[in-house]
Structure 1
Amino acid sequence: MQNLLSQIKNCTVCKAHLPLGPRPIITGTKNSKIVLVSQAPGRKAHDNNRAWDDASGRKLREWLGVTETQFYDPNNFAVLPIRFCYPGKGKTGDLPPRQECAPLWHAPVWVQFKKVELVLLKGKYAQDQYLGANAKKNLTENVANYTDFLPRYFPLPHPSPVNHFWRGKNPWFEDVVVGELQDIVDGIL
């Protein structure tokens, strides 16, 4: 597993398309219990070479009901983005993930995992990649119908502060779903 992660961290396949150059971010061990699949590292993650070490990460840890120590233990949580490098800034946020990473690296990584009990799919890109034809018509319906995807997958909105509009329009998520998520995560850890 560590050899594969080293290969991924040295990947330069889409270097020409990265405004800040490649800096793949991925963590995990063969014993990881929960896999965090999301769009791509943000600018701060790129700069610090650490995923979820920002306001989004704090909100995510709050939703999961875990400490920072629990969260950054790769035997608890693996980080497997759809795109491993920061894609650059777009008009309304970061650019979408390019198509190279997931097809090139996800299958070999999944073969290495031996103890995964839950896959958290954060955001529409992750949900489209993993739910495929079983996905509902949009992110809100995926999240509202999360029980349809259990016990393997748990779809979530992105925990970014800019996503507060979605959370404001969908208070049921933090009122009901987050508690269910915390119970599942607590049972796994």
Structure 2
Amino acid sequence: MTDLSALIADVRGCRLCEQRFAATETAHAPQPVLRAQPSARLLIAGQAPGMKVHHSGKPFTDPSGDRLRDWLGLDAETFYDETRVAILPMGFCFPGYRKGSDLPPPAICARTWRASLMDRLSDVRLTLPIGGIAQRWHLGVTSNVTQTVANWRDFLPDALPLPHPSWRNTGWLKRNPWFADDLLPVLRARVREVLDA
């Protein structure tokens, strides 16, 4: 079996979607963004990098990352310690825009890489699937994000589903105060428990 570092190098060299991305409004080249080491105990499974992350080459280097780190109760140093925290979005490249909105990640990315990567992350104790695509893959749910996140207790202790931390979800957060009141304290405690073990 290929070790994780070699597999990540293969992912970073992936060009499966090169023509697809060249045909988007942003006409960009693939740039897979992911972080992981075999010792990681926390897995953040997002959707796909945005344009800012595409340019930085580092996940969650945008306001969504600031909000996510606040939700988790982690400073940037801990968040980016890939020996403890793996960050593997469902699509590793920025998928581009259509009419000003991010496109969904191409399904071929997860089909090609995800199972092999997950097989090599055997120390993960908590998975945080962010958004519907990640929740369907990791939790096997068919419900929408609000229903899945509202049922967060059903997935403990191994997973906690989250909405996307984007500013676009500020209205969702206001309409669902239970997320901050009930889920976030448990999330922070579980993250600390997993990382401190």
TM-score if structure 2 supplies the norm length? 0.92
Partner of 2:183: 177
How far off its partner does 1:136 sit?
A: 5.4
Which of 43, 52, 55 is the equivalent residue of 1:47? 55
How far off its partner does 1:90 sit?
A: 2.6
Partner of 2:24: none
Number of residue pairs the alignment of both structures matches: 187
How far off its partner does 1:83 sit?
A: 0.5
Q: Which aligned runs of 4 or more in structure 1 are off by greater than 3 angstroms?
A: none
How far off its partner does 1:130 sit?
A: 1.9
The alignment status of 1:65 with 2:73, answered yes or no, reads: yes
* C-alpha spacing 1:117/1:143, structure 2 compared with 1 (3 Å): same
Partner of 1:30: 38
In 2: Cα distance, 1:128 partner to 1:136 partner: 6
**Aligned residues: percent identity?**
38
Which of 5, 8, 13 is the equivalent residue of 2:11? 8
In 1: Cα distance, 2:126 partner to 2:174 partner: 27
Residues 69-128 of structure 1: per-residue CA shift (max 9 Å, x gap): 000000121111111100011336210111111111011111211310011000111112
Which of 149, 155, 162 is the equivalent residue of 2:155? 149
- Letter of the 1:173 partner, please give it: F
In 2: Cα distance, 1:120 partner to 1:40 partner: 14
Partner of 1:84: 92
Cα RMSD, aligned residues only: 1.1
In 2: Cα distance, 1:37 partner to 1:52 partner: 12
In 1: Cα distance, 2:142 partner to 2:5 partner: 35
Gaps of 5+ in 1: none
Aligned-partner SS, 2:107? coil
- Letter of the 1:161 partner, please give it: W
TM-score if structure 1 supplies the norm length? 0.95
Gaps of 5+ in 2: 22-26
In 2: Cα distance, 1:169 partner to 1:48 partner: 32
How far off its partner does 1:137 sit?
A: 2.4
How far off its partner does 1:147 sit?
A: 1.2
In 1: Cα distance, 2:17 partner to 2:67 partner: 30
In 1: Cα distance, 2:142 partner to 2:116 partner: 27
The alignment status of 1:165 with 2:171, answered yes or no, reads: yes
In 2: Cα distance, 1:91 partner to 1:138 partner: 24
Residues 162-186 of structure 1: per-residue CA shift (max 9 Å, x gap): 1101101111101211111000001
In 2: Cα distance, 1:92 partner to 1:11 partner: 26
